[in-house]
Amino acid sequence: MRGLTTTLLYVGLLAGLLASNVAYGGLFRNYQPEVVVSDPYIEMHTGPGRGYPIFYVAGQGDEVTVLKRKTDWFKVRLPRGTHQFREGWVHIDQMRHTLDLEGNEIEFPNHGVDDFANRRWVAGIGGGDLDGANTVSAYVGFHLNPYISLQTEATQILADYSDGWMVNGGIYMHPFPYSRISPFFTIGTGYISIKPQTTIVQAEDLEDEIAHAGAGANVYISDRFILRLEYKRHTVYTSRDENEELNEWKAGFSLFF
Amino acid sequence: MESRIQFVFLSLVMWALCASAAMAAPKAEELELEPLVVREPDRRQVEVDDLDSENFEIGGFGGLMNVDNFGTEPVYGIRAAYHVTEDFFVEGQYAKTELGDTSFERLSGGSPLFIDRDMTYYNVSLGWNIFPGESFVGGRWAFKGGLYLIGGVGSTDFADDERFTWNAGLGYRLIATDWLALHVNVRDHVFKSDLLGEDETYHNIEFTGGLTLFF
């Protein structure tokens, strides 16, 4: 009996979760608002791009339903009876001149230099050179504020006679975050592993801790795109008597969210 | 004892959820009671960020890959892309193929020179939709799609060694529906190896077709 009550309560809990989710418009959202054209006209393309032809022009005062978005293009649906094909794609610049049904302006946010300065998450990839070896790397960063970020990076090292990998974590300082070309400085630490190629005999594997200091610049391109140039000087704490110094140069691009 | 605690806890959680759901629902009576005093809230305020956006593309591909000196073998892999703007996208690929016999191995008839014949590669590339638009077949059919240029860097696991590899190529994306696209790709994967004696640049041409889903 008690088992049944508990089961019922669990079912109730699930139903409650679903109910509150629906009430707050959560998970399975199918949000398709209606907007009113306030410019003299908006152009509807057959696809989400300027290369696709315009097949219909909706006029001032027309009500259209916004279905979804691809990059800077919005798919809208015309009311019944307007055109043989009711759905088309409208560019964000024209969507800006639509109003909601109450007559209020709608904000269509665009990513600009301010978003670049206030970015939160950054993910990127790059390629470069580590003391003569080629590198391929991927990194993820989190900005605590516009001036300081934390970043972790994984690098694959591909040399003529050896290959390996390296992971790094570091703190980045961005003294001029509001500039389009924003320089940065970094220090951090990590781990490196190198093994010789199979065509070479009698070489030892190398696994060591490393630390680095570096500098570079983020260049804001447009939208969510950042070009990144970076130099790092790594110190490898080898098991031999002397530490080894490695110079790393790389270029890459990142996206911010 | 334990099940009583469970009972009390679950009851409390359920009540809290019901209460929150009830509070979130619009209160019709309130609006009706004081229509002249209180301005009706903007319940139709349009939130652009809540719209469904479809900028990710994920899918698989298969085809043929010619590995320099090792003949042509089937290749298959997965790819994922993020469309940053209507012009540019970032793509990652991971694929697998096999090394065929070298001419020497075939002619000499002896045992194979290399045991590890699996080859895998990964890469990250930047794509540029250079000629987007519609393509026409006859008078009745129009297809959305477009040609793109793509290039990037990555690594190839070739005969048990990792080789730095850059790639460049050309693709055609045919957008069948909003959520489905067909791809045809020609790519050259270039790396250096000293596997057959001296350092050589390997050009590996790959021809593939694939399907991707947008979401």
- Number of residues that this document lists for chain B: 215
| Residue B7, in any domain of the structure | no
Q: Do the strands A63-70 and B52-53 form a parallel or antiparallel pair, or are they unpaired?
A: parallel
Same fold, A28-110 and A115-256: no
Asked whether residue B130 carries a pLDDT value surpassing 50, the answer given is yes
Average pLDDT over every residue of B187-194: 91
Q: What is the pLDDT of residue B19?
A: 58
| Residue B1, in any domain of the structure | no
Q: Is B173 on the interface with A (CB under 8 A)?
A: no
Q: Which of A16-30, A87-101, A104-118, B199-213 has the lowest mean pLDDT?
A: A16-30
More confident residue, A108 or B94: B94
Q: Tell if the CB–CB gap between B83 and A25 is shorter than 8 Å.
A: no
pLDDT band at A22 (very low <50, low <70, confident <90, very high): very low
Q: Which of A61-70, B1-10, B37-46, B65-74 has the lowest mean pLDDT?
A: B37-46
| Residue B157, in any domain of the structure | yes
Closest CB to B86 among A13, A25, A71: A71
Q: What is the pLDDT of residue A62?
A: 87
The residue in chain A having the minimum alpha-carbon distance to the alpha carbon of residue B85 is: A71
What's the fold here for domain A115-256? Answer: Porin (2.40.160)
Q: What is the pLDDT of residue A8?
A: 60
Q: What is the pLDDT of residue A173?
A: 96
Average pLDDT over every residue of A226-243: 89
| Residue B93, in any domain of the structure | yes
Taking the C-alpha atoms of residue A79 and residue A57, their distance in angstroms, rounded to an integer, is 13
Q: Which CATH superfamily is domain A28-110 in?
A: SH3 Domains (2.30.30.40)
Distance of CA A154 to the CA centre of its chain: 17
Which residues of B are less than 8 Å from A134 in CB distance? 153, 164
Q: What is the pLDDT of residue A222?
A: 76
Average pLDDT over every residue of A211-224: 90
Q: What is the pLDDT of residue A24?
A: 44
- Nearest 5°: phi and psi at B24? -75, -30
pLDDT band at B52 (very low <50, low <70, confident <90, very high): confident
Within 13 Å, how many C-alpha atoms sit on residue B60's CB side? 5
Q: What is the pLDDT of residue A121?
A: 93
Q: What is the pLDDT of residue B136?
A: 87
Taking the C-alpha atoms of residue A139 and residue B124, their distance in angstroms, rounded to an integer, is 13
Q: What is the pLDDT of residue A10?
A: 61
Average pLDDT over every residue of B39-53: 67
Q: What is the pLDDT of residue A19?
A: 53
Q: What is the pLDDT of residue A187?
A: 96
Q: What is the pLDDT of residue A104?
A: 78
| Residue B42, in any domain of the structure | no
Q: Is B159 on the interface with A (CB under 8 A)?
A: yes
More confident residue, A101 or B182: B182
Boundaries of domain holding B190: 56-214
Pick the most confident of A17-31, A74-88, A200-214, B90-104: B90-104
Q: What is the 3-state secondary structure (H, E, C) of chain A?
A: CHHHHHHHHHHHHHHHHHHHHHHCCCCCCCCCCEEEECCCEEEEECCCCCCCCEEEEEECCCEEEEEEEECCEEEEECCCCCCCCCEEEEEHHHHCCEEECCCCECCCCCCCHHHHHCCCEEEEEEEEEECCEEEEEEEEEEEEECCEEEEEEEEEEECCCEEEEEEEEEEEECCCCCCCEEEEEEEEEEEEEEEECCCCCCCCCEEEEEEEEEEEEEEEEECCEEEEEEEEEEEEECCCCCCEEEEEEEEEEEEEC
Residue appearing with tokens 């570079």: A216
Minimal C-alpha gap between B194 and chain A (Å): 8
Asked whether residue B149 carries a pLDDT value surpassing 70, the answer given is yes
Identify which of A39, A20, A149, A124 has the alpha carbon closest to the alpha carbon of residue A90.
A39
Q: Is B209 on the interface with A (CB under 8 A)?
A: no
- Domain map (residue ranges) of chain A: 28-110, 115-256
Asked whether residue A214 carries a pLDDT value surpassing 90, the answer given is yes
Q: Tell if the CB–CB gap between A198 and B161 is shorter than 8 Å.
A: yes
Q: What is the pLDDT of residue B72?
A: 92
Query: Residue B62's domain is classified under what CATH number?
Result: 2.40.160.20
| Residue B111, in any domain of the structure | yes
Asked whether residue A25 carries a pLDDT value surpassing 50, the answer given is no
Q: What is the pLDDT of residues A146-198, one digit of tens each?
A: 999 999 999 999 887 788 899 999 999 999 998 999 999 999 999 999 888 76
Closest CB to A156 among B42, B83, B162: B162
| Domain count along chain B | 1
Q: What is the pLDDT of residues A129-140, one digit of tens each?
A: 998 899 999 999
Q: What is the pLDDT of residue A26?
A: 42
Give this complex's ipTM: 0.72
Asked whether residue A97 carries a pLDDT value surpassing 90, the answer given is no
DSSP letters for B140-183: TEEEEEEEEEEEEEEEEEETTEEEEEEEEEEEEEEE-SSSEEEE
More confident residue, B110 or A171: A171
A85-92: which pairs have CB atoms within 8 A and are 24 or more residues apart? A85/A46, A85/A55, A85/A56, A88/A44, A88/A45, A88/A46, A88/A55, A88/A56, A89/A44, A89/A45, A89/A46, A89/A47, A89/A48, A89/A49, A89/A52, A90/A42, A90/A43, A90/A44, A90/A45, A91/A43, A91/A45, A91/A50
Q: What is the pLDDT of residue B3?
A: 64
Which residues of A are less than 8 Å from B131 in CB distance? 51
| Residue B3, in any domain of the structure | no
pLDDT band at B169 (very low <50, low <70, confident <90, very high): very high
Within 13 Å, how many C-alpha atoms sit on residue B189's CB side? 30
Taking the C-alpha atoms of residue A10 and residue A16, their distance in angstroms, rounded to an integer, is 10
Q: Best mutation site among A2, A116, A197 for testing chain B: the one with the most B CBs within 10 Å?
A: A197
Average model confidence (pLDDT) for chain A?
84
| Residue B194, in any domain of the structure | yes
